[in-house]
Structure 1
Amino acid sequence: MGQPIAFFEVVSPDHRRAQTFYGELFDWQIAPDPAMGGYGLVETEAGEHAIGGGIGPSMQPGDTGVKIYVKVDDLDAYLDRAEALGGKRLVPPMDLPGDFGRFAIFTDPDGNQVGLWA
């Protein structure tokens, strides 16, 4: 069985505008957190099996865009596998605030950023 998509993220140089845009477009509830620089968790209101997400500010050049996060059981093993297939590690495994787990980011051979979440 394949690994499921667990989270999506929109990163924007104007995250407030992006939060308003997506919230109004799709009727999503977005809760910005000042402690996280205005990063807002998204509740899509699409039922119990809906994928959650976040919309937040750009932190460095080249990080804007839409990213998916795939649920995995071993971040390092999947980063190694991505590299063996031609990808590159971008962000090493890091703890998320609270008890949200850990994440890492790699790029595929075309440069697309993909997140892993454990």
Structure 2
Amino acid sequence: MENFISIVEIPTGSFARAVAFYQSVFNIGIREIDMQGTQMGLFPGGGPVNVALIKGDDYKPSAIGTLVYFNGGDDLQNVLHKVEPAGGRVLLPKTLIDAENGFYALFTDTEGNRMGLHSYK
């Protein structure tokens, strides 16, 4: 098994608002598709782990469920400073884990999902 995780689905209340938030914060394009009546927004990259925004009756955003950490690139602060202008909220600023494991931060997106960022610098 190459990777233990295959797909991450991020629930949305307002699909359009969530797409705009993640495109702005990560400076990416999100491809919107309809999957048998469920709206999905596919993050770029694909590969062994796929990330998608999702809007459907059985999907509810949450600040208390599974926590996903996005790769913050060389320095997660470059991403974190975009969160609040895009409508999210920083919960925990850039914080040192230790010299070997780098830094992390926590934020909520526009839908109320709690998310993390990680970088080594």
Please give the TM-score of this superposition, normalised by the length of structure 2.
Answer: 0.44
More helix by share: 1
Please give the TM-score of this superposition, normalised by the length of structure 1.
Answer: 0.45
